[in-house]
Amino acid sequence: MKYETETLTRRQEEIYNFLRDHQEHFSTAPTLDELCKMLGVKSRGSLHKHIQALTEAGLIEPAEKRQRGIRLTSYEVNHVDELPFLGRIAAGSPIEAIEIPESIEVPQMLRSNGQCYVLQIRGDSMIDDGIFDGDWVVIEKREQARNGEIVVALIEGREATLKRIEQCPNEVILYPANSTMKPMHFSPEQVQVQGVVVGQMRSYR
Amino acid sequence: MKYETETLTRRQEEIYNFLRDHQEHFSTAPTLDELCKMLGVKSRGSLHKHIQALTEAGLIEPAEKRQRGIRLTSYEVNHVDELPFLGRIAAGSPIEAIEIPESIEVPQMLRSNGQCYVLQIRGDSMIDDGIFDGDWVVIEKREQARNGEIVVALIEGREATLKRIEQCPNEVILYPANSTMKPMHFSPEQVQVQGVVVGQMRSYR
DNA sequence: AATGTAAATAAACAGTTGTTCTCTATTTGT
DNA sequence: ACAAATAGAGAACAACTGTTTATTTACATT
């Protein structure tokens, strides 16, 4: 007998996609019987073989206690409502990118219609605007900003900071929201807007 | 045979409290066997009678599909992506409840394992703690708080506020996080903790 | 001393669930 | 055209789960 190939068969992929598409509608981990009904399969044993293959492929895992249904691996992580978590941002340094870009759950309310991503705040430079060390901010990727918006600004192509921006014809002023720091003045060429803050989240645990 | 009294027996209350205290630790709905082990009961049948009584009392409900464990009523509120949005809270007034309780999307990261709900902030009394007018806060329903936590406190049974709490044997101090306001001192009987802040969200649009 | 209630144990039952097996039909590759 | 791979049906099995019943123990009330 041959070793199993590590690629999925057509039907296995079909079933996996079904599980992915429907995982949101499962209140509890689905049963083989339930899945059979939904997939139109009449034999529990038939389905079991596919489920077993997917389990060995690491895409699925049985609910821990036995006899308690099947769920996708990292069930809650693959939610539709996730944005890429790109890294941490501290005043005066480049953005510290995450090696493996993770995902982070973000409610619809905290996003804009544009392309968004998430950064975590390092430091207290925005403390007076209610953005604290450790907070997550949702950034809409955008090159232009309106005056008064909080932006991810790249200074001299090196440092990245989160600041409130005021743009005049000949000058760009970045206001740190921290009474112990002073506004910084630049020429328009020195400052490049990378995105605008549209949401913020904090966990107290 | 007599009709069942509507009050719980000593043991029923004991078991109900156990379930309440431990619901956070259940990843899936617990089984009678599992509960037996945890409670030190050797017979599944013994426990079943108590569970049945609690179910009739409306405090517990069997997981929908049969053969899938037992959960507290409204257990799954914590497992969907939305939490009930109960109303707005302003310093010095009762909570302004929403007529029809809506739902609001809250990421897993911003919740605790306990029962949670969402309030929207009115006013600037927590501005120094980074909680602004219009922000949403995620509250874990809880009657006890640790010192330093931000709580929803009911004062004299009437006013509700969001404050940082310090509890001494003879005194409860509520600190508004706003330098223009002063800490308020109460006797322990005057202040009732209703919940603890575990998360916060803000939209900039 | 007699009685009733609460609580626990143990055994048994039926339905569910995951698993394994054999057998058959269909598709695929050479 | 033939063999291998894939897919499904159905049966059978053991473990688990909720439920019921009979029996015993402890305890408080009368």
Q: Is residue B198 classed as helix, strand or coil in its secondary structure?
A: strand
State the amino acid at position A51 in one-letter form. I
Sequence-distant (≥ 6) Cβ neighbours of residue A153 within 8 angstroms? A160, A161, A162, A163, A165, A174, A191, A192, A193, A194
Q: Are B107 and B31 in the same domain? A: no
**Mean pLDDT, rounded, for A114-121:** 88
**Mean pLDDT, rounded, for B113-126:** 88
- CB burial string B98-107: b at 16+ within 10 A, e below: eeeeeebbbb
Q: Structural domain tally of chain B?
A: 2
Return chain B residues 13..32 having CB < 7 Å to nucleic acid strand D.
31-32
Where do runs of H (alpha helix) occur along B27-156?
32-39, 44-56
Query: Which residues of A have a catalytic role annotated?
Result: 125, 163
Give me the pLDDT at residue A69, please: 62
Question: Each residue of B37-72: pLDDT tens digit?
Answer: 888 899 989 999 998 888 887 778 777 666 666 655
Which stretch of B16-25, B71-80, B189-198 has the lowest confidence by average pLDDT? B71-80
Cβ–Cβ gap B108/A106 under 8 Å: no
Q: Is residue B178, in this structure, part of any structural domain at all?
A: yes
Q: Which nucleotides of chain C are near protein (any atom < 7 Å from a CB)?
A: 5-12, 15-22
Q: Are A139 and A93 in the same domain? A: yes
**Mean pLDDT, rounded, for B172-188:** 92
Q: Look up the CATH number of the domain holding residue A15.
A: 1.10.10.10
Q: Are B60 and B92 in the same domain? A: no
Cβ–Cβ gap A130/B202 under 8 Å: yes
Nearest to A119 by CA among A134, A100, A129: A134
**Mean pLDDT, rounded, for A5-32:** 76
Residue B126 has pLDDT above 80, yes or no: yes
Q: Is residue A125, in this structure, part of any structural domain at all?
A: yes
Q: Are B63 and B92 in the same domain? A: no
Q: Is residue A48, in this structure, part of any structural domain at all?
A: yes
Q: Are B117 and B149 in the same domain? A: yes
Q: Are A93 and A64 in the same domain? A: no
Q: Are A23 and A108 in the same domain? A: no
Q: Is residue B44, in this structure, part of any structural domain at all?
A: yes
Give me the pLDDT at residue B77, please: 38
Residue A108 has pLDDT above 90, yes or no: no
Question: Each residue of B65-104: pLDDT tens digit?
Answer: 666 666 555 443 333 467 888 889 987 677 877 765 577 8
Q: Are B63 and B87 in the same domain? A: no
Q: For residues A121 and A86, what is the distance between their CA atoms, to the nearest angstrom?
A: 12
CA distance A55 to chain B (A): 20
Q: Is residue B51, in this structure, part of any structural domain at all?
A: yes
Query: Which residues of B have a catalytic role annotated?
Result: 125, 163
Q: Which residues of A touch B32 (CB under 8 A)?
A: none
Instruction: Check if A103 contacts B (Cβ < 8 Å).
Output: no
Return chain B residues 5..64 having CB < 7 Å to nucleic acid strand C.
5, 9-12, 41-46, 49-50
Q: Which residue among B64, B108, B203 sits closest to A76, beta carbon to beta carbon?
A: B108
Q: Which pLDDT band holds residue A38 (cuts at 50, 70, 90)?
A: confident
Per-residue flag: A44 CB under 7 A of strand C:
yes
Q: Is residue A87, in this structure, part of any structural domain at all?
A: yes
Q: How big is the A-B interface in CB pairs under 8 Å?
A: 96
Question: Each residue of A164-176: pLDDT tens digit?
Answer: 999 999 999 999 9
Query: CA of A44 and C1' of D16: distance in angstroms?
Result: 18
Q: Are A111 and A155 in the same domain? A: yes
Domain boundary among A28, A43, A72: A72
Select the more confidently predicted residue: A6 or B42. Answer: B42
Q: Is residue A88, in this structure, part of any structural domain at all?
A: yes
Q: Are A44 and A92 in the same domain? A: no
Domain boundary among B73, B88, B109: B73
Cβ–Cβ gap B201/A203 under 8 Å: no
Element (H, E) at B197: strand B191-203
Q: Is residue B2, in this structure, part of any structural domain at all?
A: no
Q: Are B86 and B175 in the same domain? A: yes
Question: Each residue of A65-100: pLDDT tens digit?
Answer: 666 666 555 433 333 467 888 889 987 677 877 765
Cβ–Cβ gap A201/B110 under 8 Å: yes
Give me the pLDDT at residue A101, please: 59
Q: For residues B116 and A197, what is the distance between their CA atoms, to the nearest angstrom?
A: 27
Sequence-distant (≥ 6) Cβ neighbours of residue A13 within 8 angstroms? none
Question: Each residue of A124-180: pLDDT tens digit?
Answer: 888 999 999 999 999 998 889 999 999 999 998 888 899 999 999 999 999 999 888
Residue B1 has pLDDT above 60, yes or no: no
Residue whose CA lies closest to nucleotide C18 C1': A67
Query: CA of B143 and C1' of D25: distance in angstroms?
Result: 38
Cβ–Cβ gap A79/B79 under 8 Å: no
Sequential DSSP letters for chain A:
-PPPPSSPPHHHHHHHHHHHHHGGG-SSPPPHHHHHHHHT---HHHHHHHHHHHHHTTSEEE-TTSSS-EEETTTTTS-TTEEEEEEEEETTB--EEEEEEEEEE--GGG--SS-EEEEEEESSTTGGGT--TT-EEEEEE-S---TT-EEEEEETTTEEEEEEEEE-SS-EEEE-S-TTS--EEE-GGGEEEEEEEEEEEEE--
Give me the pLDDT at residue A1, please: 31
Give me the pLDDT at residue B183, please: 92
Give me the pLDDT at residue B105, please: 84
pLDDT averaged over chain B?
82
Range of the domain at B69: 10-73
Give me the pLDDT at residue A84, please: 80
Question: Cα dist. A113→A116, A120, B111 in Å?
Answer: 8, 21, 25
Specify the DSSP class assigned to residue B8. Answer: P
pLDDT averaged over chain A?
82
Residue B181 has pLDDT above 50, yes or no: yes
Q: Look up the CATH number of the domain holding residue B121.
A: 2.10.109.10
Domain boundary among A72, A97, A112: A72
Select the more confidently predicted residue: B165 or A205. Answer: B165
Q: Are B107 and B66 in the same domain? A: no
**Side-chain half-sphere exposure of A143, counting CA atoms within 13 A:** 1
Residue A27 has pLDDT above 70, yes or no: no
